[in-house]
Amino acid sequence: MSDDVRVEVTTSLVEDGEFLRFDFEDWGQGIVERLKERLLTGIDDRIRRVSGVGLTLVKQIVDQYSGTVWVENRVEGEFTKGTRFVVRLPNGC
């Protein structure tokens, strides 16, 4: 197995330019559904050890700007094909 990490970042304007969308995609092992929301809350000590405070901090910052952040499969329906972290912020925030 390769130690190379592949991450792709894309940006776009969505909803008629009202929002900026940032997609961070990886080609890693993926994240099972039941853990995705818990990654952003930081309430589970086991999750916190793996992700640190990074994702919880990202969510708090995004919330301050009335944005949203979520985690989804990079390939719909196939969590083992990698993960996509999405940040959506109001344009001009």
User: Is residue 86 a part of any domain in this protein?
Assistant: no
Instruction: At 26, list the tokens.
Output: 């990886």
User: Is residue 2 a part of any domain in this protein?
Assistant: no
Q: How far apart are CA 82 and CA 43, in angstroms?
A: 23
User: Is residue 84 a part of any domain in this protein?
Assistant: no
User: Is residue 65 a part of any domain in this protein?
Assistant: yes
Specify the pairing of strand 68-75 against strand 19-26. Answer: unpaired
- Work out the average pLDDT over 7-34: 94
| The predicted structure's pLDDT at residue 53 | 64
Number of independent structural domains in the chain = 1
User: Is residue 92 a part of any domain in this protein?
Assistant: no
Residue 51 binned pLDDT confidence (cut-offs 50, 70, 90) = low
Helix or strand holding residue 22 (H, E): strand 19-26
**pLDDT of residue 31 exceeding 80:** yes
Supply the range of the domain harboring residue 25.
Answer: 7-77
What are the tens digits of pLDDT across the range 58-83? Answer: 889 999 999 999 999 999 999 899 99
User: Is residue 93 a part of any domain in this protein?
Assistant: no
User: Is residue 87 a part of any domain in this protein?
Assistant: no
Residue owning tokens 């912020």: 89
User: Is residue 57 a part of any domain in this protein?
Assistant: yes
